[in-house]
Amino acid sequence: MRIATIGKPGSGKGTQAEVLARKLRVPAISLGEILRKRSLKNDKTGKYIRSRIDKGSFISDRLAFKILSERLEKKDCKKGYILDGFPRNLAQAKMAKDIGTAIEIKVPDSLIIRRISNRRECPKCCRTYNMLTQKPKKDEICDKCKTRLGRRKDDSPNFVKKRLAIYRKKTAPLIAYYRKQGKLVSVDGAGTVSVVFSRIMRALK
């Protein structure tokens, strides 16, 4: 059970990976989240990662794979995992040979902009909210760790445009790559979290 989610920024990769992971009892691994946490460390690697992700650019394939591999070596990944954010280009897909299924979450750009502009994230535990669709219980405070929610730097409109352009150029070719191998499952990502999740479960069966 080694599954990867593929989709535009804000398409719901992280949200669906979490739900699917709970259902399948394997960990959801968000490389973006691991990198945001790693970027808080003020060493050379931390500064490099921060300089890339805050502007919506990828970090190097080698470092991305190294950081991901360290996480996949942990015991909880033995039975499988749901990857969110890896692979993001063909070079990375060749590194991630173990992936058995790639789930493409299809969402139009107009909905992406709406979702991202309403996204909030806990700077401490990285839990994601949406002020329209997945509100915290108390105004802009994390339900889990009670920290004030913030916005990701790369969620500003200019960087979202840039991330969408990078997605089209670098990540979208993975759809044909996995389709050719018979590993692709595509679902419509518009609709509520539970509706999209039902589509994923149906497509996996």
How far is residue 194's CA from residue 4's CA, in Å, rounded to a whole number?
19
Give 9 or 136: the residue with its C-beta nearer to Mg ion.
Answer: 9
Interaction between residue 52 and ligand AP5 (CB under 6 A): yes
- For the question of residue 148 being annotated catalytic, the response is no
Interaction between residue 51 and ligand AP5 (CB under 6 A): no
How far is residue 205's CA from residue 195's CA, in Å, rounded to a whole number?
16
Burial of 177 (0-12, 13-18, 19+ CB in 10 A): middle
Question: Which one of the listed residues 8, 13, 50, 199 is annotated catalytic?
Answer: 13
Of the candidate residues 38, 119, 127, 199, the single one contacting ligand AP5 (CB under 6 A)? 119
Of the candidate residues 14, 27, 56, 136, the single one contacting Mg ion (CB under 5 A)? 14
Min separation Cβ 41 and ligand AP5, Å: 15
Strand partners, 148: 141
Residues whose CB is less than 8 angstroms from the CB of residue 148 and which lie 6 or more positions away in sequence, other chains included: 123, 140, 141, 142
CB neighbours (10 Å) of residue 140? 12
Interaction between residue 136 and ligand AP5 (CB under 6 A): no
Given Mg ion, ligand AP5, none, residue 27, with its beta carbon under 5 to 8 Å by kind, binds none
Determine the interface stretch with Mg ion among 7-15, 62-70, 113-121, 148-156 (rule: CB under 5 A): 7-15
- The angle, 0 to 180 degrees and rounded to 10, between the axes of the packed helices 193-204 and 13-24 is 60
Given Mg ion, ligand AP5, none, residue 121, with its beta carbon under 5 to 8 Å by kind, binds none
Cβ pair 126, 36 in contact under 8 A: yes
Of the candidate residues 103, 130, 136, 174, the single one contacting ligand AP5 (CB under 6 A)? 130
Given ligand AP5, Mg ion, none, residue 92, with its beta carbon under 5 to 8 Å by kind, binds ligand AP5
Cβ pair 85, 166 in contact under 8 A: no
Question: Which one of the listed residues 50, 120, 127, 163 is annotated catalytic?
Answer: 163
How far is residue 76's CA from residue 168's CA, in Å, rounded to a whole number?
33
Question: Which one of the listed residues 119, 120, 127, 199 is annotated catalytic?
Answer: 119
Active site residues: 13, 88, 119, 152, 163
Q: Which residues bind Mg ion (CB under 5 A)?
A: 14
